[in-house]
Structure 1
Amino acid sequence: MRQRVVRVALTAVLVALVLLAVPLALAIRSSLYAGQRDALERAALAAAVRVNPDYARGDPAELPAAASGQRLGLYDPRLRLHTGTGPRTGDDAVGRALAGKVTRDSSGGELVAAVPVSHAEQVIGVVRASSPVAEVRGRVFAGWAVLAGVAAVALTVAVLVARRQARALAAPLEDLSRHCRAVAEGDLTARAAPSTIAEIDQVSRTHNDMLHSLTELLRHERNFTADASHQLRTPLTGLQLTLEAGLAQDDTRPALEEALAATRRLHETVEEVLRLSRPAGLPRPVTPDRPVRELLAHAEGRWHGLFARDGRRLEVAVQDVPDDVRVPGGPVTEILNVLLDNARVHGRGTVRVTVRDLDDALAFDIADEGAMDGDGVRLFGRGHSGGGPGAGIGLALARDLAVSLGGRLSLARAAPTMFTLLVPVRREHSGPQDDTGQGSR
């Protein structure tokens, strides 16, 4: 990844340097040559205006001193060198200048500028200025060397910037790859850290959201398995004992009726566990509402014999609860079963179930004469059972069921132990018709 980013960056820089450096190198060469020719032409013009028109009749013809690396010479109309320096016979540039035009040329390894000397509208001579081509070529090479140095510096800076950017781009992706590898090895708590690159952060957030969804799905599956095994173990044992007792009797009808009732309870338990196991965001099946008194009578009928078998009492009391109050039957029944089973296994003495009316909710108090040690919050964690750590998950399941109803389950008192379940209620009664013809609720 990093090498690829560096290669791409260097390729782009090299293409840009070529596209800029080649035209610039040509421009440097052209500019230096043109500048030298302009300098020669100015020198020749300056010398031409100082030439005495009577030099052909023997008067002296003086030329200004030539600049370093330049040669100045005055040629007569016969192309002979009269004064100054230069070839003894004028070249093509001098011959063309005799026609009255300023001429630029290169010959014999020199750059040449020839300027005609005029008098009385006649050309009476030519001033020739020249300089070696090698001198200009040396300046061109020097300019190209500077250009190459600038290009090398630019390329070096580009390499450093490209490597830094490659690290900045690759580091978050490498981190994301490490987290994916950790997830593949079983660490579902691994999360990709944010970076400074928006696009990579978006990928990281999507990865984390996907991992969170998978974790929740796996948690729901594990909870379902644990809840099902926990809630079905006792009813299945009771069903087995009922069937075995029925086999030992001549009249098996009571045993079959009890087994059928146990089967119905198993079916309701499975339905509630399945309903609770659905991931968040998915609609859950609506459980039918049941009157509170009917629900309590059913719970008392199921658990009274079990407590009596252990030499304990079960008391159920309803305080000022109207007959029209209804609660979700399946979940509340399952929660009461968990709490009563917890009181039977871990509690002591008489167990009291009291229902209080709180207008918009009902409070179910399940109390016994035992004591509960430990933190009331940890008590509802999975892997905690009764008053000490264990493998039970009944209270955790009951809490989740209560939350799914919009209610709450808490430890109201540790000694003597009392759990309180708050459940939103629905009241059904007839009333005056409203404007839409519907009865009020």
Structure 2
Amino acid sequence: MRQRVVRVALTAVLVALVLLAIPLALAIRSTLYADQRDTLERAALAAAVRVNPDYATGDPVELPSPGPGERLGLYDPKLILRAGTGPRSGDAAVSEALGAVIARDQTAGELVVAVPVSHNEQVIGVVRASSAVSVVRDRVLLGWAALLGAAVLALTVAVLVARRQARALAAPLEALSRHSRAVTDGDLTARAEPSAIAEIDQVARTHNDMLHSLSELLRHERDFTANASHQLRTPLTGLHLTLETGLAQDDARLRPVLEEALAATRRLHHTVEEVLRLAGSPGLPHRVAPDRLVAQLLDETDERWHGLFAQDGRRLDCGSQDAPADVRVPGGPVAEILGVLLDNARTHGHGGVRVTVRDLDDALAFDVTDEGGLRTEPGRLFARGHTGGGAGGTGIGLALARDLAVSLGGRLFLASGDPTTFTLLVPVRQDAGAVSGEAAR
């Protein structure tokens, strides 16, 4: 920004200097030439007054002494030099002055002024005053040099003033930029300092107010996450203990129901953990999701969802095309994403549903496909709060699944609209034992 301010100031000064200096230089030249002609005219008039009308009969003529670099000469009507200095024969200016007019001319490198000498209303001679053009030209060049010096001085002052103003303007903006970078790096306590420029101070105050509001919003969200963690974990833990106590009772009729309820409680507990982990609350310990084999994950998914689809008269197939058995993925998050996709297929899809795993070397692709067609705009599928219109839809599931995929370093996207196919890409690593075995071979 500093260079931009200096360039703008210098451009304005240069334009002003050009617009002023060129006319001023021409005015200096015109004025100096006009002054020299006036000087010659005054000298010629002073000499003409002193010319005796009887000079033609031999009376000596006493012309005044010319100025430095000037020549004075008296010519008779026959254009012959009778006194003073000048060309032996009168030139065009002398001929013109014989017509009883003051003649001005520039010839042969000289400025010439010719003044007629009259007696009894007749022109009896001409006084010719001249000076070298080079004398005036030197004065013009000196004037132009002075003008150039003044322009350079003005340009130098403009550069100094522009640099100072650039520093004054850029310093608070650079400070605001550093403050914004600090906020980007996570320091929400940073605040922009006031400066001497009212407009920038207004921006800084607005920025500080926005940052204060954002900090308060984030604080409320962190508090909500911590409160939700406490309020959800406590009853879930109590329910888990109650179900385990019920399983300790020797009641064959209630055991299957209690086991299913206990499994659902564990899944709910894992779901809460993943949502809180994704929220990233600083008050919660960071947990790395344990890895699970793909085959185990598919079996658990089929066991959980097969009965639900069967109740609706629909088929669920879970299988692996070419994924090796020793490949592991983060079990909890992937299971949650597959659960969201299967619930979405059950609510908004039709026909059978197929979960397929494909090997992509450094990643696995989980494809969830149903026989229904897409009934909403693809660009709005993952928008939080948007729902396809199915019963009970909240518009949160797909957005949550996408965020979970990003937190794993993967990606969730719509691969096809007819039939509807969602693809989850998950980075993987092989089992340590299998890898060491491969190395040994």
**Aligning the two structures, in what range does the TM-score lie when normalised by the shorter sequence?**
0.5 to 0.7
> By how many angstroms is 1:161 displaced?
0.9
For residues 162-201 of structure 1, the aligned pairs below 5 Å read 162-201=162-201
TM-score by length of 1: 0.55
1:233 Cα shift?
3.7
Identity %: 78
Helix, strand or coil: the match of 1:129? strand
Correspondence for 1:129: 129
Q: Quick one: which amino acid aligns to residue 63 of structure 1? A: L
User: Partner amino acid for 2:65?
Assistant: A
**Aligned letter for 1:15?**
V
For 1:9-408, what aligned pairs fall within 5 Å after superposition?
Answer: 9-242=9-242, 248=249
Cross-structure match for 1:6: 6
1:183, 1:159 → 2: CA distance?
35
Whole-Å separation in 2 of the counterparts to 1:56 and 1:220 = 118
CA distance in 2, matches of 1:129, 1:249: 142
Secondary structure class of the residue paired with 2:60? coil
SS of equivalent residue, structure 2 residue 8: helix
Distance 2:10 2:34 in 1: 35
Partner Cα separation in structure 2 for residue 124 and residue 197 of structure 1? 79
Q: Matched residues in 1 for 2:25 and 2:164: separation? A: 31
Counterparts of 1:36 and 1:75 in 2: how far apart (Å)? Answer: 22
Distance 2:234 2:134 in 1: 108
Q: Deviations 1:188-217 (Å, cap 9, x if unpaired)?
A: 112221111222222222222222222111
Counterparts of 2:244 and 2:67 in 1: how far apart (Å)? 129
Shift of the alpha carbon at 1:244? 5.3
Q: Deviations over 1:165-187 (max 9, x none)?
A: 11111111111111111111111
Give 2:217's aligned amino acid: L
Deviation larger for 183-192 or 134-143 = 183-192
Aligned to 1:33, the other structure's residue is in SS state helix
Shift of 1:58: 2.1
Unaligned runs of 5+ in 2: 255-441
In 1, Cα distance between the equivalents of 2:7 and 2:238? 74
Q: In 2, Cα distance between the equivalents of 1:206 and 1:79?
A: 90
Q: Partner of 2:364 in structure 1?
A: none
SS at match of 2:130: strand
Shift of 1:245: 5.6
User: Using the alignment, how far apart are the partners of 1:120 and 1:25 within structure 2?
Assistant: 46
| Aligned residues between the structures | 256
Q: Name the SS for the 1:90 alignment partner.
A: coil
Query: Separation in 2 of the partners of 1:205 and 1:227?
Result: 33
Q: Distance in 2 between matches of 1:193 and 1:33?
A: 61
The alpha carbon displacement at 1:243 in A equals: 5.2
Structure 2 length-normalised TM: 0.55
d(CA) in 2 for partners of 1:117 and 1:45? 9
CA distance in 1, matches of 2:238, 2:10: 78
SS at match of 1:131: strand
Please give the secondary structure, in 1, of the residue aligned with 2:87: coil
Cα RMSD, aligned residues only: 2.4
SS in 2 for 1:191: coil
